[in-house]
Amino acid sequence: MAPTLVCWRCGEALRDDLPRIFPRLEKCRACGSDLHVCRMCRFYAPQYTTKCSHDRAEPAREVDIANFCQHFRLRPGAHSGDGDVTSRARGELDALFGGDPSDAPDPTAEPAASDDPFDELKSLFGKPDGSS
């Protein structure tokens, strides 16, 4: 029994009646992502500079949009299910440096507003009284 092919982005199982020669403009019916992409190929290797382990393939500019690569071969298990890359990287950095994610400032929060921005500037340079 052949392994089930799934979308690289959402993990949805692909339909069973896909043609043997995979169409370049095929899209996932669940999320609408292109499927003839490097991330769906068995030669996809993110650790390489070219992102491809095939010795004759041209490097792709984008690995998640449809391309014309003639070496494309479908890869079962293309969906990693790792979640958000940014949050995973933040967690790894926190583990490495001993940081606590709850201590980090909220990037979406508005900066604290002061009555006079010039007062903040003066305090940065150690002249709280305004003298030169």
The model's pTM is 0.57
The phi and psi torsions of 123 (rounded to 5 degrees) equal -70, -30
User: What does pLDDT average to over the chain?
Assistant: 78
Closest among 81, 76, 77, 45 to 60, alpha carbons compared: 45
State the Rg of the chain over Cα. Answer: 24
Whole-angstrom distance, CA of residue 130 vs CA of residue 118: 10
Domain limits of the chain?
A: 1-103
Chain-centroid distance, C-alpha 58: 22
Q: Specify whether the CB–CB gap between 65 and 36 falls below 8 A.
A: no
Taking only the tens of pLDDT, the chain with its 132 residues reads 466 788 888 888 887 777 767 788 889 888 999 999 999 999 999 888 889 999 999 888 889 899 999 999 888 878 776 545 566 777 788 888 887 656 656 666 665 655 777 777 787 787 555 555
